[in-house]
Chain A
Amino acid sequence: MPSAPIVEFSQVDFSYDATPLLKAVNLRLEPGKVIAIMGGSGSGKTTLLRLIGGQLAPRRGEVRVQGRAIHRLGHDELYAMRRRMGMLFQFGALFTDLSVFDNVAFPLREHTRLPESMIRDLVLMKLHAVGLRGARTLKPAELSGGMARRVALARAIALDPMLIMYDEPFTGLDPISTAVIANLIRRLNDALGATSIVVTHDVEASFKIVDYVYFLSGGALVGEGTPREVMASSEPFVHQFVSGETDGPVRFHYSAPPYGADLGLKS
């Protein structure tokens, strides 16, 4: 019997305006797994994370986290639920006026009444887990892109969340930093007994660490499976995406009138 999903989407539609961004999306994310949501830019991946975090509400359908419809929760219940989530933003979203130490200490100071000596120990443990215990006094402006994301990761796990969301964690990183972040995602997920959702378009880095993959295209789910299954998929979009082909359902040219007509060669 399958375990109860930690996140479940049922027929979810979402749009900011008249153009639909997500169309009838159904998802079941099992606890303890690292799950990748893949798709091209603008396919609605980040929107999916914001729906799980309750920052957006679906137009139709339901998003349930631990069995509760997140968009129907009141302010206090929603914030209580968010205390059990961690989110790594694309560029870290560190507080620029605080040091590395104070950034990681921020959620602990806001949500607990722990003495400062205990907060110090906890922050150093989280920073040690991401390999940046020695960078505690630095300001975000002094960090490289990879280091900033590791600090943000330490901050995201400060309250030992049950669900960790990663928004494009590999974007703009060199291969070494990419590998470091990928390993951290897997290790931290297993160490915390959490569930991780990684929104990415980096096939190589993510396939090494994830248990299951969903593919989004044009706001709809077009494929899913384990990395091994999707590598062998014959679904045209999935095949084009994982093999990085230039020709396929995703076209090189943006929709335009006929070339000849545009150049005035034909009527």
Chain B
Amino acid sequence: MGGALVRGLRLVGRLTVNGVWQLGCATRFVALTLLRSALTFRRPRLLLDEIYFAGALSLIIIIVSGLFVGLVLGLQGYETLKRYGSAEAVGTLVALSLVRELGPVVSALLFASRAGSAMTAEIGIMKSTEQLSAMEMMAVDPFSRVISPMFWGGFLSMPLLAAIFSAMGIFGGYLITVVIIGVDPGAFWSQMQANVDLREDIGNGVIKSVVFGAAVTSIALFEGYDAPPTAEGVSHAVTRTVVTSALAVLALDFVLTAFMFTGV
């Protein structure tokens, strides 16, 4: 009984120490990434390459997913609002759902799966094949040359991807409700224009996507850098990136929503 208690306490202690240690390492990693950002902005080519990799190459999945989410939102929204005789408000429902929540959250989840996992794998493999060490020994700082450009590329791409996701979703909602079902287009757009606030709704949505971009990119890069230099280590790191990013995005979304929209 006493032995089990001691073992339990030891386990809790070890997990706590490991957790604090990891958090400290991650904080130091992000601080170094930010501190060594000067080269990224002195050589815009580095940044453009990463925006292409993290942003442009994610466009297909973002556009297709945004379109389908908009189609489903339009259908569900129309069916529900019709019961209350306010089917014209479907434009508002689609737009608010997208710009406040689904745009930033779903595009961040997709971004973590597509670009985040690729970042982790790239950094992890560069580390396990000693490419990062080789760079250090060539007097080229891997943080300045590789990690910071990746961070800023992801950070800047995420709000743009969220905006494209929301725009495609609204277009999907328009297609299904106005073009297919026959809701009045004037009512669809005017209700949306009247009820979506630039600062409250769109502005807060943009803030969310900026926060998610920073969180997902930091997690992806840290997991890659921290991965044990083996095939198994890199594959586990990729899994952790997707899982941790998803949980972080959902938890951050709750916190941000509580502050932004409920006046907590």
Measured CB to CB, the residues of A under 8 A from B are 53, 55, 75, 79-80, 82-83, 85-87, 89-91, 93-96, 106-107, 110-111, 152, 155, 159
- The residue on B at minimum CB distance from A53 is B137
Q: Using Cβ atoms and an 8 Å threshold, which residues of chain A touch B133?
A: 55, 89, 93
Given contacts A79-B139, A82-B137, A106-B140, 20 further A-B contacts (CB under 8 A): A55-B133, A55-B137, A79-B141, A85-B137, A86-B137, A89-B130, A89-B133, A89-B134, A90-B130, A93-B131, A93-B133, A94-B131, A94-B134, A95-B134, A106-B138, A107-B139, A107-B140, A110-B139, A110-B145, A111-B139
Contact A110 B138 (CB under 8 A): yes
Cα separation A53 to B134 with both chains bound (whole Å): 11
Contact A95 B141 (CB under 8 A): no
Contact A83 B139 (CB under 8 A): yes
The verdict on B27 contacting chain A, using a C-beta distance below 8 Å, is no
- Which of A55, A82, A85, A95 meets B131, CB within 8 Å? A95
- The residue on A at minimum CB distance from B125 is A96
Q: Using Cβ atoms and an 8 Å threshold, which residues of chain A touch B138?
A: 82, 106-107, 110, 155, 159
Cα separation A197 to B131 with both chains bound (whole Å): 20
The verdict on B79 contacting chain A, using a C-beta distance below 8 Å, is no
Q: Can you report 13 A-B residue pairs in the complex whose CB atoms are below 8 A from each other?
A: A55-B133, A55-B137, A79-B141, A82-B138, A86-B137, A87-B134, A90-B130, A93-B134, A96-B129, A107-B138, A110-B140, A110-B145, A155-B138
B28 to chain A, nearest CB (A): 14
Task: Report which residue of B129, B133, B134 has the largest number of chain A beta carbons within 10 angstroms of its beta carbon.
Answer: B134
- The residue on A at minimum CB distance from B134 is A93
Q: Using Cβ atoms and an 8 Å threshold, which residues of chain B touch A152?
A: 134
The verdict on B136 contacting chain A, using a C-beta distance below 8 Å, is yes
Instruction: Determine the interface band of chain B, counting residues with CB < 8 A from chain A.
Output: 10 to 19
- The residue on A at minimum CB distance from B36 is A75
Cα separation A120 to B256 with both chains bound (whole Å): 53
- The residue on B at minimum CB distance from A90 is B130
Cα separation A94 to B125 with both chains bound (whole Å): 12
B161-185: CB near A (< 8 Å → 1, else 0) gives 0000000000000000000000000
Cα separation A25 to B130 with both chains bound (whole Å): 26
Q: Using Cβ atoms and an 8 Å threshold, which residues of chain B touch A75?
A: 141
- The residue on A at minimum CB distance from B140 is A110
Contact B129 A93 (CB under 8 A): yes
Q: Using Cβ atoms and an 8 Å threshold, which residues of chain A touch B129?
A: 91, 93, 96
Q: Using Cβ atoms and an 8 Å threshold, which residues of chain B touch A94?
A: 131, 134
B200 to chain A, nearest CB (A): 44
Contact A55 B136 (CB under 8 A): yes
B189-214: CB near A (< 8 Å → 1, else 0) gives 00000000000000000000000000
**Nearest 4 A/B pairs, CB to CB:** A93-B134, A82-B139, A93-B130, A87-B137
Cα separation A89 to B131 with both chains bound (whole Å): 9
Contact B139 A80 (CB under 8 A): yes
Cα separation A83 to B136 with both chains bound (whole Å): 10
Q: Using Cβ atoms and an 8 Å threshold, which residues of chain B touch A89?
A: 130, 133-134
B86 to chain A, nearest CB (A): 55
Cα separation A79 to B137 with both chains bound (whole Å): 8
B81 to chain A, nearest CB (A): 51
Cα separation A91 to B141 with both chains bound (whole Å): 21
Q: Using Cβ atoms and an 8 Å threshold, which residues of chain A touch B145?
A: 110
Q: Using Cβ atoms and an 8 Å threshold, which residues of chain B touch A87?
A: 134, 137
B144 to chain A, nearest CB (A): 10
B126-159: CB near A (< 8 Å → 1, else 0) gives 0001110110111111000100000000000000
Cα separation A110 to B136 with both chains bound (whole Å): 12
Cα separation A27 to B187 with both chains bound (whole Å): 84
Cα separation A75 to B141 with both chains bound (whole Å): 10
Cα separation A168 to B130 with both chains bound (whole Å): 14
Task: Report which residue of B133, B138, B140 has the largest number of chain A beta carbons within 10 angstroms of its beta carbon.
Answer: B138
Cα separation A86 to B138 with both chains bound (whole Å): 7
Q: Using Cβ atoms and an 8 Å threshold, which residues of chain B touch A86?
A: 137
- The residue on A at minimum CB distance from B137 is A87
Q: Using Cβ atoms and an 8 Å threshold, which residues of chain A touch B140?
A: 106-107, 110-111
Cα separation A146 to B201 with both chains bound (whole Å): 60
Cα separation A226 to B206 with both chains bound (whole Å): 69
Cα separation A53 to B129 with both chains bound (whole Å): 18
Q: Using Cβ atoms and an 8 Å threshold, which residues of chain A touch B137?
A: 53, 55, 82, 85-87
Q: Using Cβ atoms and an 8 Å threshold, which residues of chain B touch A83?
A: 139
